[in-house]
Chains A and B, each alone.
Chain A
């Protein structure tokens, strides 16, 4: 147990030296590391509870996905039936209860209609299943219902788009190093360090930002509006203040045809949003405005009417301005960002938010460092007065262990959280346990009358077994935390597990090397322990 070949001594010493060196960039902090040209070295990331920032868990409204799919299918069916030769007359399309139902007026055309509709469905997965289930009831009623596989694929597709949209919006806010990842099938985790006002963040990423221009039906009177009775093909929408307005159901143009949106000011110098359409959108907007000069159209964002200006002249340039809403500079800006990044394919809700002020994070770091230093000093003194020379060896091991844990965390780009600091302090406490076990065992063996070398040898041998058993069980609970835990529990577990691994290395192997060197050089007849 006490033989260490030359290369083994070198290997152990160099690995620990490397550990100390690699921990330096993390200890210096980002700005200092860059100053001394060490910015390329791996560093520990600070968790949001230490750096300050926002953690948001967004959940997709899967009903919303279904609703928009049903709406899109509604449009596709109408145009498919219109294009069919001969034209298929259908009626009473309804999209409620998660299914789409329509009647075919001429029973003879039902088969042709079903065939057209089938063509609109797609295969999903490898089983050859379709995304929609088509059936006929009462001889001329066609029912379409999405299959489970279809629903899953709709949600998956919407989520993929949603993650991109959220990323674009957060990038546009100019925050640095955000984390945006999908969690499970219908959630997105957003972590943005250093945000002072999470409200702006939530307003920007949380809104669907579905922009539509719809013609206002000027024939609908106030009385009809109040009674909620509008002609077929119309719908009633509301202004922000709740006032109703009747518009045509069909949008003349939508946000998907936008190329740009930015904050601007209207003729009264009030905040507004300037938008530009792509070529296709510009042509269409030009045609519609040409045909409807003198009539009002409604600018609608997320089903709320912002304003309903009258078309004074045809707009052919493809540029327009959304004004007249009660915009502040901030709200106009978030709307511009949201519009430019495209509409969210699915509505997102914030189901969990954790925001920490940067100042509180800084306080926590300071408190954590103070506690760690005091813990180390207290333990070092305690070990010194209890085990003398062997205590010094254990202390060197504990202090090296602190650096090595930091280095390993940096190598894995680990994140240090506040519970992580607690795990760190606890690890310092448990790390000396290995040395306590060894030293107590050496004391025992000495008392039984063994000579120095035998006692040390047996002390390390017997204690190593116990240390292995004890750390293995400790590691089991660490792994359970890592796998099952969320947030703070995970941060704690990572430090604990790394600490268990490195402390065995430093407390057992490294101190054994030191003790072996001492015994070889001095050949003491007796030891104080």
Chain B
């Protein structure tokens, strides 16, 4: 049986030569992402801004204007009914009542539900979330701390296990991935809620995973080929790990796409964030983090240098043969 090979054997793409272009493109996209996030802002969900969010399910697609008027009449502020793919499911969101105490947000829910039920007796409330200002503030702080903590913890790990250049370059690359995902949410206006924080942390974890594999190969090759220059080593390592990088990204994308298509609308934001994250993460592994190592002045150690730490210090050295 002939087996599938997505990437031909012994590719020799000069990724390092492309790094000038890649850095430029990365910088441009990052600025665009920051700009989008800064000017348009994120469509933050009730988890982070407080207020209430009700998912109402009707047996027929409801007249949206009537629905809006019904809720507006209660005077809790502007409601923005939003339909999902299924027109019978409508999401209603209301802000935190002004100047009210912490429990007031929740008290609104009963009134809103009663009013909607009076107009549309067949309605069912699939999901109800109310979050007070205090709790949403805590969730925001914890979310930001979690993402930052994960990024720093992993950068420090890279520094301890490898060299500081590895830690720094991965940190820059993840920063890029996180910014791109934020930009994606700013541009698409998808709701940014707690599950997206989970998605961001997974992107961080996955992206690092990807970079560590290449970094590990660079470290290995630096010991094998002490005479080779850094450009050669990085190019060789990225090319050697290319089949794995592509294979793994594809299997994960297969999983994510099936989740996006069949996992229901509740997981939509989570899976879309991760799909974007996997794509930008793979890009940054190949073009950003490893090429950055050269700019940071990482060099193979001369033979007289003391032994380097690491699991593979006794790794056997082999010379590369020409393939027949």
Contact = CB atoms under 8 A, between A and B. Distances in A.
Interface of A: 49, 57, 59, 198-199, 202, 349-357, 359-360, 363-364, 367-368, 370-371, 374-375, 378-379, 382-383, 385-388, 418-419, 421-423, 425-426, 428-430, 432-433, 436-437, 440, 443-444, 447-449, 458, 462, 465-466, 468-474, 476-478, 480-481, 484-489, 492-493, 496, 528-529
Nearest to A417: B195
Interface string B251-283: 111111011011110110011001000000000
Given A385-B3, A465-B312, A489-B198, A448 B320 contact: yes
A469 B161 contact: yes
Nearest to B129: A354
B126 A360 contact: yes
B153 interface: yes
A383 B248 CA distance: 10
Given A357-B126, A385-B3, A473 B247 contact: no
Nearest to B174: A477
B106 A202 contact: yes
B134 interface: yes
Nearest to B242: A440
B22 interface: no
The 3 closest A-B pairs by CB, nearest first: A349-B103, A367-B264, A429-B255
Interface string B25-57: 000000000000000000000000000000101
* Interface SS, A side: helix
Contacts of B258: 371, 374-375, 378, 425
Interface in B109-123: 109-110, 113
A368 B202 CA distance: 18
B323 interface: yes
Nearest to A475: B205
8 contacts: A202-B110, A436-B248, A437-B244, A447-B9, A477-B205, A485-B198, A489-B194, A489-B198
Contacts of B205: 473-474, 476-478, 496
Contacts of B3: 385-388, 528-529
A476 B167 CA distance: 14
B146 A481 contact: yes
A201 B262 CA distance: 34
A18 to B, nearest CB: 26
B216 interface: yes
Interface stretch (B77-85, B181-189, B207-215, B299-307): B207-215
Contacts of B262: 367, 370-371, 374
Given A350-B130, A496-B202, A426 B252 contact: yes
B206 interface: yes
Contacts of A529: 3
Contact of B263 (A379, A386, A421, A489): A421
Contact of A480 (B146, B243, B263): B146
Interface centre among A423, A466, A496 (most CB of B within 10 A): A466
- Of B109, B131, B146, chain A has the most CB atoms within 10 Å of the CB of B146
B243 A440 contact: yes
A126 B253 CA distance: 58
B154 interface: yes
Nearest to A391: B3
Given A351-B135, A440-B243, A470-B216, 16 more contacts: A59-B103, A351-B102, A351-B134, A352-B132, A355-B125, A357-B124, A367-B262, A418-B266, A419-B270, A422-B263, A430-B209, A436-B247, A474-B205, A476-B157, A478-B205, A486-B139
A335 to B, nearest CB: 17
Nearest to A437: B244
B321 A353 contact: no
B263 A371 contact: yes
A430 B315 CA distance: 26
Contacts of B103: 59, 349-351
A379 B127 contact: no
Interface of B: 1, 3-6, 9-10, 55, 57, 101-103, 105-107, 109-110, 113, 124-132, 134-135, 139, 142-143, 145-146, 149-150, 153-154, 157-158, 161, 194-195, 197-198, 201-202, 204-206, 208-209, 212-213, 216-217, 220, 240-241, 243-244, 247-248, 250-256, 258-259, 261-264, 266-267, 270-271, 274, 311-312, 315-316, 318, 320-321, 323
Contacts of B264: 363-364, 367-368
A484 B146 contact: yes
A379 B255 contact: yes
Contacts of B106: 202, 349-353
A473 B157 contact: yes
A368 B255 CA distance: 12
Nearest to B197: A489
Nearest to A374: B258
A465 B212 CA distance: 11
B154 A473 contact: yes
Given A422-B259, A426-B255, A462-B220, A469 B128 contact: no
B251 A481 contact: no
Nearest to B270: A422
A488 B198 contact: yes
Contacts of A374: 258, 261-262
Given A360-B126, A462-B312, A486-B142, A474 B194 contact: no
B321 A449 contact: yes
A444 B240 contact: yes
A440 B110 CA distance: 58
Given A350-B130, A386-B3, A422-B267, A480 B153 contact: yes
* Interface core residue of A59, A370, A473, A529 (most chain B CB under 10 Å): A473
Contacts of A57: 135
B254 A351 contact: no
Contact of B259 (A49, A352, A371, A466): A371
B254 A481 contact: no
Most buried by B among A447, A449, A470: A470
Contacts of B266: 49, 360, 364, 418
B255 A480 contact: no
A68 B230 CA distance: 73
A198 B197 CA distance: 27
A477 B128 contact: no
Given A474-B208, A477-B150, A489-B197, A386 B311 contact: no
